[in-house]
Amino acid sequence: MVKMRRNPEDDYMHAPEDVSNFNESRYYNWFDSERGMGGWVRMGNRVNEGYAELTVCLYLPDGRVGFMFQRPRISTNDAHDAGGLKFEVVKPYEEHRITYDGPICVLDRPREMADPKTAFQNNPHTDSAIDLRVTAVGAASGGEPEWEEGEERPQVDPDKMFARGHTEQQMSSSGGAGGGRGEFGGEKEPSYPLHLSRQRVLAFRRRCVRLTPAGPSNTTI
């Protein structure tokens, strides 16, 4: 019988493995229904290719969207910390921190991002800052598969693996997200509980964190 392992050390970074598409990534999203503002962030370390993938997206109360995508250079897989975006594991499966200090492109018509090059050229850019503390309100699920002694393991090409070590966890978020002169909401009150999904896709190893809003009683919307 296959069991899923979730040791505290599994919530940290992993040593790169010798495959071209090694990608350890996290993805978080959140939403403050009182202010009508939310967003998501992702970072994927492709250290064997020498860069990280950075994405920041803020949904603003007036319908505008702030967006940024970059491929900052990295040389190690020691941390998710590049291009101004940083994810920290304060305490495994209990507390994480998300910070960003960098530019975003502000779109009055978000669908223009269907043509990213034109959208980035024709819309204004401004400085942005995110500082969120996410804390567990439920246990994590998923993890690294382990087989009983004598069980046959499936044979999978490492270069074609996807979502190995995927985990999810319900968490709450508090902090602030803003840009320019505070026009995007500035500091906000503690948000409703969020659903944090931390996916470690080791494609040889890829990690991703995903958050989905939940109501004040910790029920998923």
pLDDT digits (tens, 9 = 90+) for 50-70: 999 999 999 988 899 999 999
- Measured distance CA(129)–CA(180) in Å, rounded: 9
At residue 8, the 3 state secondary structure works out as helix
Percent composition of the chain: helix, strand, coil (DSSP 3-state, to 5):
10, 50, 40
- Measured distance CA(84)–CA(219) in Å, rounded: 33
**pTM score, whole prediction:** 0.78
Q: From the centroid of its chain, how far is CA 172? A: 14
Q: Who contacts 133 (Cβ-Cβ below 8 Å, separation ≥6)?
A: 95, 96, 97, 173, 174, 175
Confidence grade of residue 103 (pLDDT, cut at 50, 70, 90): very high
Phi/psi for 140 (5° steps) reads -75, 155
pLDDT digits (tens, 9 = 90+) for 134-193: 888 888 888 877 767 766 666 666 556 556 777 777 788 888 887 654 444 444 333 322
* Amino acid identity for residue 81 in this structure: D
- Measured distance CA(90)–CA(72) in Å, rounded: 24
- Measured distance CA(181)–CA(179) in Å, rounded: 6
At residue 122, the 3 state secondary structure works out as helix
